[in-house]
Amino acid sequence: GEGSSKAHYAAIAKDSTCEQDNCWNRFFVEVVETFVDEIAKYMCYVYAGICALRYFSFIWAHVPLIILDGLTADEEAAEVDAKAGNTFGEHAEDDEPERLFVEHLDPEGEGRGGSNEEEEEEEEALASKKGPGVFTKWRLVLGSTFFVYESVFVAMGALAVIFDDPLFTAFFWCDLTFFPGSQTVVNAIKFKAGEMMNTLVLGIAIMYIWMVIGILLFRENHADNNGQALCVNMFQCTLSYFMIALRGDGVADLMDDLTIPLNIVDSVLPIGEPNERFFLPLLLWDFTYNWLFIYILLAIITGIVIDAFGGLREEKEAAEGDLKAVCFVCNLERFRVDQDGIGFDKHVKIEHNPRWYLFFLIYIDGKSDALLNGQEKYVKSRVWPATGNPSCEWIPRECTDSIKVEGEEDPNAEVYQRMDAMEGDIGEVKTALSRIEEMLSKIVPKDDDTPAERSAA
């Protein structure tokens, strides 16, 4: 505790045999370091608890979404395969004579394995009723990178407690890659990762070619400042190029101190000391390596990264422009809604507000099925079906009440026609009633009329 630490330090300070520096060293080693170790130990427990809570939240909230997204992707892939099968099926008419011949030889279908289309359809219907199996769900979950990341995250917390080592808690710094500011850099690297890897492989190939040339022509020049050889064999030479030439200023870092010749003859002929031979070929070899690998290749990688940032910016601007020019719900363009509808801004705020659709789903999800009306039951059966995958058919696509779709009849047209007919009939009835009232007024005398007026009438 704090009291024991002070007492221990006081005991060290009273020790007349220790010098001032040694006393401070003993204090930090025996008191401060022990105190920090205790804090780190409890931090490991706290970190493990946070990791466990985070992992439980992930399993509870995100795993169902992972399964839903995976099933939706599988369904879309199946639809694409079915469309491709229908495309190939268009050419099945060419095989019609062969099929008729086979059916003539084997009318019962025994030679074809006794396959029955009705049985296959029943099996497919039964499988769709059962829904996705446990194996399919586990396959989707285990194949998710988010599940793997969260599992490793909680495993690091457990290892920190088991081994009592806070170094395992450093894994949480990986969460910085998910921050909005870091996502730009990470996405840029992911966006052009293939091109950068191809460029890196090309650079390694160039380095290997220059390494072989250096071994064949300038083996004796490969040495460090102490005169130790760096290219005795291919393995040592490869490691030397990776460790020194790749990270430094090129192959010049692998060369022993060179002596610059006094004339062109000495710089070309293989005479003199090893550091004086073939100076011009060695200079050309070093210069071309620096020019190809360090200047051009690194410039290409830098250009790829800059191009990746430009591509991400264009995608972001395109997405923002799409939200401003196209309705998120019905996919109608701004120009058409402004010309034929109530206006795009009013349309996305009143008719097709995405938040209202979200609130509606939350509302019907929390409402009892017995209290739902027909429309709500229909939407809930599509969004949360008992069997099969969710469907988005209930969402309007390229249509709205304020715009009439070309070629589509107005469902209220008949009602409007009947209302117009009823208005005409009502007008005729009013005219007939007015005539009847006029005739009755002439036939039936009024109460305030005199007998003379009645006889005259």
Contacts 24+ apart (CB under 8 A), 27-30: none
From the list 50, 41, 65, 81, the residue with the least C-alpha distance to 163 is 41
The whole-angstrom separation of Cα 2 and Cα 10 is 12
Count, residues in the chain: 457
- Other residues' Cβ atoms within 10 Å of the Cβ of residue 295: 11
Question: Mean pLDDT over residues 154-165, rounded?
Answer: 88
The whole-angstrom separation of Cα 73 and Cα 65 is 12
Question: Mean pLDDT over residues 358-370, rounded?
Answer: 88
Region at 309 (left for phi over 0; alpha for psi -120 to 50; beta for the rest): alpha
Residues in Cβ contact with 358 at an 8 Å cutoff, skipping those fewer than 6 apart? none
- Other residues' Cβ atoms within 10 Å of the Cβ of residue 339: 11
Instruction: Using pLDDT thresholds of 50, 70 and 90, give the confidence band for residue 80.
Output: low
Q: Which two tokens stand for residue 122?
A: 């029943």
Q: pLDDT digit string (tens) for 41-50?
A: 888 889 889 9
Residue-level pLDDT at 191: 77
The whole-angstrom separation of Cα 53 and Cα 25 is 40
Query: Contact 74/82 with Cβ under 8 angstroms?
Result: no
Q: Which residues pair with 229 in a beta bridge?
A: 223
3-state secondary structure labels for all residues of 132-171: CCHHHHHHHHHCCHHHHHHHHHHHHHHHHHHCCCHHHHHH
Query: Contact 286/218 with Cβ under 8 angstroms?
Result: no
Instruction: Using pLDDT thresholds of 50, 70 and 90, give the confidence band for residue 127.
Output: low
Query: Contact 230/223 with Cβ under 8 angstroms?
Result: yes
CA 343 to chain CA mean position, Å: 33
Asked whether residue 101 carries a pLDDT value surpassing 80, the answer given is: no
Asked whether residue 102 carries a pLDDT value surpassing 50, the answer given is: no
Q: pLDDT digit string (tens) for 400-451?
A: 887 765 555 555 667 667 777 888 888 888 888 888 888 887 776 555 555 5
Residue with tokens 């210069």: 287
Query: Contact 307/370 with Cβ under 8 angstroms?
Result: no
Query: Contact 382/391 with Cβ under 8 angstroms?
Result: yes
The whole-angstrom separation of Cα 44 and Cα 438 is 102
Report angle CA 123, 127, 131 to the nearest 5 degrees: 170
- Comparing 20-24, 145-149, 276-280, which segment has the lowest mean pLDDT? 20-24
CA 412 to chain CA mean position, Å: 43
Q: Which two tokens stand for residue 382?
A: 């599509």
Asked whether residue 197 carries a pLDDT value surpassing 80, the answer given is: yes
Query: Contact 244/207 with Cβ under 8 angstroms?
Result: no
